[in-house]
Amino acid sequence: MSHLFHIPVMGTCFTTDTPLRVAHLGVDSAISLVDDKLLEKIGFYYAQKFGMPYESAVTEHSRAKRIQNFLNLVNALVQKKFGEVLQEPFTGESEKDLYFKILPTNDPLRLRYKEMLTLPEGAARSREEDALTAEMRPGSIDVNIMVKLDRPGFDDAKEALRGYAESDLCKNTSLILSAGINQALFSEMENFPCFYRNASGSFDKKIILKISDFRSAEIQGKFLARKGLEVSEYRIESGLNCGGHLFPAEGELLPLILQEVAEKKEKFVSGLTRTVQKYYEAHGLDSKRLLPHVPKWTAQGGIGNFGEMERLLVNFGMDRCGIGSPFLLVPEATLVDPETRALLANAKLSDIQMSLASPLDVPFSLLKTCGAEADRLEKIAEGRPGSPCPKGFLQNNSEFSQRPICTASREYQKKKLEEIEAAPISCEEKAKKKNRILEKMCICHELGNSALIALGMESAKSAPPAICPGPNLAFFDGIYTFEEMVNFFYGRGKVLAKAHRPHMFALEILLYAKWFKTCVDEQKPLQKIAANLKRGLDFAQTIAESKAFPGENLESIRDAIARTLPLIEPYL
């Protein structure tokens, strides 16, 4: 028994309390560990709300302790809530009923639940109610670490790892490692036994790798295996059809990546077993604990209906799917202030842009109508661009000083703009360079503001919020209940997406076409990118010609291919 979807991490705050909202209903979700100070603020809020003890972290490892305290609180509250749900009677309208109602349509427990409702009151029904209750499990409380978010002189990722590893979370939880490989961090995991097999041969804390392609899975999976660490899930994400930071690599489209995974995953996983066994033997660990272990493979990035989920599960052999941005429109699931949520509901595709807002110099999906973007433009108009940099998580530039500073900071932008103004280049080139500098936004701080506004701890005026949805969100235009959204993605209930919504693969193609144009403008080497896109388009064509799953808009794939081919053909 399990859901066919999970709610992946979104921004630094939007899924911060999602486990408190959905874990008791059996749905897995993930918390970002980027902003430990934000977690502490939200922790104090919930501790006060539910009368729980909570302490400030003032220790040698204060970042780790803040994270540990928050996760301990979330774990305690989820267990409490789940315990309360277990005690509820089946009334047809209780949260206990909802647990079973939102399971996949043909899930055996859902079918048993529906059958139980037809039984008359009596001993037989009571026995079945007790049996169903015994099968209930809370959703997983997962955490996400951006592994390369380490400032010079700091160990942000390692401290986040410590906070999670030493937390009370156990058995039903995973550590998601995203945004590449960090060998020092991966090696640090050896110091925490919770990531290795326990006496029963299972894991106290599991490892998930968020990857961009099969090669990434190979490199990271093999590195971890040499440390005796086993991956429980490989989470494949579209390079452009997602929210937050975007990783277009060299034009490789998701369908072709998934096809390679489907063809190679079994042999790859079997090859890691002996590597892990050697580590256990060399380090005095009991290799008899290494029971057969088959990791899950999941996909995410722009999924918009049940048919697209079925395509990923059936055709590509995925075990589950990640569905993120549409849940930003569900108050029961995510932490977003009402004004920003309304902006999301009204957003057009042109409002969700691939921007240069991130100081990491990685493309970033941004809602251009959000409060933080208006605040950025206002500061530029007033002649004081940049942020005061209140948190400093992205202080990694030493261009003007030995002390690293953030490229979105007021300090950096003032110096950089002066340097550009003095450069012996044309006015047109100066304007172009200045715009690239001014586009940077204080995302490590402003991505957390929506949560504080939603909880009544800040105002939009004093804390303008940024939000980073995927473009798929533009095809949903309402505020929905959790049950409505889950039912939609399981192919039942009312249709929530707009009728003209393009297929997830079509939207990805169009996003790559737009990105390819920027590569042309920036005079990047294009032959390899064009060749990769052509291979992806050819494979997408075979999907467009296949039999559609319910609700799939395959015609939009054909249209996207036709619009993109002329762009890349001159470079093939």
Q: How far is CA 251 from the centre of its chain?
A: 21
| Cα pseudo-dihedral 550, 552, 554, 560, rounded to 10 | 180
Q: What is the mean pLDDT of the chain?
A: 94
Strands 141-146, 206-211: parallel, antiparallel or unpaired by DSSP?
unpaired
Percent of the chain with pLDDT over 90: 87
pLDDT of 151: 66
Question: Does residue 45 contact residue 455 with C-beta atoms inside 8 Å?
Answer: yes
pLDDT digits (tens, 9 = 90+) for 481-507: 999 999 999 999 899 999 999 999 999
- E strands within 286-409? 296-300, 320-322, 352-355, 364-367
pLDDT of 486: 98
pLDDT of 150: 66
pLDDT of 112: 97
Q: 5-327: which CATH number, 1.10.8, 3.20.20, 2.40.128, 3.30.70?
A: 3.20.20
Q: Tell me the average pLDDT across 468-493.
A: 97
Q: How far is CA 121 from the centre of its chain?
A: 44
- Model confidence at 46: pLDDT above 60: yes
Reported confidence tier of residue 475, pLDDT bands at 50, 70, 90? very high
pLDDT of 51: 96
Residue 175, beta-bridge partner list: 143, 207
Token digits of residue 31:
């918390």
pLDDT digits (tens, 9 = 90+) for 270-315: 889 999 999 999 999 999 999 988 999 999 999 999 999 999 999 9
Residue 503: DSSP 8-state: P
| Cα pseudo-dihedral 436, 504, 141, 280, rounded to 10 | -90
Nearest to 515 by CA among 351, 358, 363: 363
From edge to edge, which strands make up the β-sheet containing 5-6? 5-6, 320-322, 296-300, 233-237, 206-211, 174-178, 141-146, 29-32
- Model confidence at 396: pLDDT above 90: no
Cα 384 from Cα 72, distance rounded (Å): 41
pLDDT digits (tens, 9 = 90+) for 127-140: 999 999 999 999 99
Q: Which residues of 488-502 are buried (b: 16+ CB within 10 A; e: fewer)?
A: bbbbeeeebbeeebb
Q: Tell me the average pLDDT across 196-205.
A: 94
Q: Tell me the average pLDDT across 237-246.
A: 95
The full DSSP string for 150-216 is: --TT--HHHHHHHHHHTSS--SS-EEEEESS--HHHHHHGGG-GGGSB-TTSSBSSEEEEEESSHHH
pLDDT of 176: 97
Q: Tell me the average pLDDT across 113-139.
A: 96
Q: What is the pTM of this model?
A: 0.95
- Model confidence at 17: pLDDT above 60: yes
Reported confidence tier of residue 544, pLDDT bands at 50, 70, 90? very high
pLDDT of 153: 66
Q: Hey, where are the domains in the chain?
A: 5-327, 348-466, 502-571
Q: How far is CA 422 from the centre of its chain?
A: 42
- Model confidence at 57: pLDDT above 80: no
pLDDT of 152: 63
